[in-house]
Every structure is written in structure tokens, then in C-alpha cells.
Amino acid sequence: MSSEPKTLYDKIWAAHEVGRRADGNTLLYIDLQLLHEVTSPQAFEGLQLADRPLWRVDANLATPDHNVPTAGRELGFAGITDEIALEQVVTLDKNCKAFGVQQFEILDPRQGIVHVVGPEQGATMPGMTIVCGDSHTSTHGAFAALAQGIGTSEVEHVMATQCLVQNKAKNFAVNVTGALAQGVTAKDLVLAIIGRLGTAGATGHTIEYRGEAIRRLSMEGRMTLCNMSIEAGARAGLVAVDDTTIAYLHGRPFAPKGELWNKAENYWRTLVSDEGAVFDAAITIDASAVAPQVSWGTSPEMVAGIDETVPNPETMMDAVQAESTALALDYMDLQPGQRISDIAVSRVFIGSCTNARIEDLRAAAAQIRGGKVADHVTEALVVPGSGLVKAQAEAEGLAEQFMQAGFQWRSAGCSMCLGMNPDQLGEGEHCASTSNRNFEGRQGYGGRTHLVSPAMAAAAAIHGRFIDIRGLG
């Protein structure tokens, strides 16, 4: 069959096109909708009010994550002291039961952050279209799945029709050559990419991460990378299927078995961009030049290498950028020219859909080296991404290492990434955080977030400030 070379995004899109409307919009079929307690109640209510059924019950999977407490989990619902949060978690439970949706409920060992749970269960598969009322749905793109965050009205639309009405985005290639230095991770890479592209640099595009450095990344690393695509403005990020993808999926509970597995694998291996496929935009990054990154501002694009300094708004040519930088430095209480390695932290958060998988916890634990959390660090939280990650970390002895060093070992949830549960940053506190957003107040009212990798966060906990972990072995 001769046809134009296609990008990976083009292929997944074409395989899900139900129809094209006269106005140019596509009716795009959705294979999986992930649900959590915050953005689904209004959608379920909408269905009930209109007396509409779920189009396909088996295409939905739910778990509470955003506002579940990470301490006292064994209490279940009774552990949620915030009545409004409790109502939301209970409402998810009721809705799942009423509509027959599979849910990993609060006491299920498989409960966790939706974007950790989906891949872990093998519910996320290559070539799928996946949606969730959460912008970090882009995480699942690591599996060559077209995964996008949507608003609650669209959640309801997918519930009722199994489709999204969408205009196709453009293709953006982020080529990453070479190899990351020791101590430099997918998190540093994606922060460096966002720093280069800017927070709106990929708006209207689907990013495909390509090149040697991406092929070397584990699935965990690829998830971290795709997770933050939205921070560069892209609704979705993708990585092509290779042996790493296939090996990760094999044997997962939701993955196909036997003959069906062989059939699926044959198809999945076609999920790569064709030679000669045309991208609308492209950048190339040399992985070997990426230093461990630390965000200094209030937008993920405001990042610098650990060996750099806080920028000076007065030397910026663009007036809006200078103003944004000045506002950010004021909020963060940082000085132009201040060395990144001189920023002290009093809180540490290791967790979130960006960095709460087993590999992240291993990398963080490796930085402890027999040390203790610094005296002026009042709290260092480790929040595994799922109950299963937690159990594995405990089996590997990581939990013990964290606790002995003075970290708190918690149960799975979104936790202080957005502070909807009791885990919140205090006013004026600087936090080394493995999460994805350093927006004003994101982790707690008046809190100051510095986005870093799990290894950098753990090292910051021990040293009380950011240090260059390259060469530490």
C-alpha cells in the first residue's frame, strides 16, 4: 500500500476516526476513560439528569486520588476529616456502583494516582485513545497511546457517546540525541525541554519525543517525560513503541494474553512514525548537555540548571517576560543572580503522577547514603503513586531507608502536588518537589515550589538545599 509517510499521532488518530463532520471536526473514538473524584461528579450528575446511560461501561476505570489523605489510610472513608472532600470521594464510589464502573476504591491495594494505576495495570495500551478529566493524562503517551486531559463537559460527552469532537492537532517532534549524564533523569530532561519551548511553545500540537536518548529511557522515565507535555502547552505527548514498551506490558493484569497478545504485539509494533513523516515543528536537544534542573519561578518554564543562577528581569528584552519574571521572583523571594545551589528548602515532597513510580523511589532512596533529613527541613514526604508501588518499595527495603533517614512514608494519592488533601505547603516555605507545577499557591497557600527530579529532591532533603548530584555515584 503506498501512502504518505505518517507520524505516530497521524496513525492513532486515523485508527479512531468515526467520522468527519462538514465543519472539519472529527468524531474521535475513545478507548479508555480514567475517572477520579474531582472532575467526574458533575459529569455523572449530567448523565443522570438527562437519563443517559454510559455508552460503554467497560471503557471506564476509576480510582480516588486527588483528595484522599495519605496518612491513616487504613481508616478508609473515616480517615477523610474534610467533609467536603469526603463527599466527593463517596460520590465517586456511589457513581461507580450505580453505573457499574470498575473502581479501585480507597482501601483497594491497587488504588493510586490514575496516571500511575492505568499503566501499572496494563489498562494503558499502545494505540489507544485515552482521556481523563486531568491535564496530566498526557502521561500515558509513553505507551504510544493518544492520551489527553479534558474538562468535565467532555468527560460527560465521552461517558455518553464514547467519542470526543476534536480538531486534529499539529505534529511536533522533540528529538533528543545522545545520553543523559549520570544523575540526570527524564524529569531534568523534560524541565529543560519546557524551559526551551516555553509554557505555550507546543500549544495546538501533539509532541512526539524521539531519538536515542528517548529509546534509552525506561517506561517510568518516558511517563515522566510525557506527563509534563501539557506544561509546554501540548495536550498530548507520545513515545513510539519498542522492546521496552512491549516488555513492560507483558503479563500486566489488563494486557491481552495468549494468542490475543501476539496479535496485539504485532499491531503495537507498527506504532512508530514512518520514515520521512513530516512534522510541523521540531527541536533537537542534546541530552548530554542537560544538567539537573531546578525551577526558580512560578511557571514550569522558569527553570535553570543546578550550576546556574536565578535570572535578572532587568536584562530581559521582552517587557511581558521581564514583568512575569519580576513577579515570580517577588513571590518566590529570590534575588536575581542568586545561585540555584544557594536556595535552601524547608519542605520536600517526593510523589505525584510525574514521579511516584518505583524507579523514582529507588533513585530518591539512593541519595540518602546513610544521611538524615537536614534539621531545618521540617517535613520530607514520600508518597508512592499507588498501593502496589508502596508495597513494592516496602519489599525492596526502600521504605525502611526513607523512614530511617527521617522521611515520612505515606499512602498513595496526589497529595502535596496540589494540596487538595491535608498535605499542604505552608506560607513562604520553599519546597523541593518532584511534582509538575510550581504555580503560585499550587502546593499550599503562599507556598514556594521548586520542581526537581526525585534524586534531586532527596538530596535536597539531606543537604537542606539544592546540590549537584552528578558525580556522586
Partner 1 sequence: MDAFVQLEGLVAPLDRANVDTDQIIPKQYLKSIKRTGFGDYLFDAWRFLDQGTMGMTPNERQINRQFSLNQPAFQGASILIARDNFGCGSSREHAVWALKEFGFRAVIAPSFADIFFGNCFKNGVLPITLPAAVIDDLFERVDAGLTLSIDLKTQRVTDGDQAHSFEIAPALKEKMLNGMDDIDLTLAEANLIRDFEVGHRQRQPWLFRD
Site for partner 1 in 181-200 (CB under 8 A): 199-200
Among 42, 218, 312, 341, interactor with partner 1 by CB under 8 A: 42
- To partner 1, the closest distance from the beta carbon of 139 in angstroms equals 13
- To partner 1, the closest distance from the beta carbon of 72 in angstroms equals 19
Q: Which region, judged by CB under 8 A, interacts with partner 1, from 16-24, 217-225, 404-412, 456-464? A: 16-24
Complex with partner 1: residue 48 or 288, whichever CB lies closer: 48
Q: Does 165 bind partner 1 (CB under 8 A)?
A: yes
| CB-CB contact of 349 with 431 (8 Å) | yes
Q: CA-CA distance, 130 to 70, in Å (whole number)? A: 27
Backbone angles phi, psi at 74, to 5 degrees: -60, -15
Among 81, 153, 284, 335, interactor with partner 1 by CB under 8 A: 153
Complex with partner 1: residue 45 or 105, whichever CB lies closer: 45
Q: CA-CA distance, 139 to 324, in Å (whole number)? A: 28
Of the candidates 345, 311, 288, the residue with the CA atom closest to the CA atom of residue 467:
345
Q: CA-CA distance, 224 to 443, in Å (whole number)? A: 19
- To partner 1, the closest distance from the beta carbon of 363 in angstroms equals 26
Q: Does 163 bind partner 1 (CB under 8 A)?
A: yes
Burial-class residue 46 by CB neighbours within 10 Å (0-12, 13-18, 19+).
middle
- To partner 1, the closest distance from the beta carbon of 464 in angstroms equals 27
Complex with partner 1: residue 66 or 73, whichever CB lies closer: 66
Q: Does 419 bind partner 1 (CB under 8 A)?
A: yes
Q: Does 253 bind partner 1 (CB under 8 A)?
A: no
Among 108, 152, 178, 283, interactor with partner 1 by CB under 8 A: 152
Q: Does 149 bind partner 1 (CB under 8 A)?
A: yes
Q: Which region, judged by CB under 8 A, interacts with partner 1, from 150-158, 287-295, 343-351, 367-375? A: 150-158
Site string for partner 1, 301-330 (x = CB under 8 A): -------------------xx-xx--x---
Complex with partner 1: residue 158 or 366, whichever CB lies closer: 158
Q: Does 52 bind partner 1 (CB under 8 A)?
A: yes
- To partner 1, the closest distance from the beta carbon of 114 in angstroms equals 13
Q: Does 38 bind partner 1 (CB under 8 A)?
A: yes
431 to 460, contacts with partner 1 by CB under 8 A?
A: 437, 439-442, 445-446
Complex with partner 1: residue 108 or 440, whichever CB lies closer: 440
- To partner 1, the closest distance from the beta carbon of 191 in angstroms equals 16
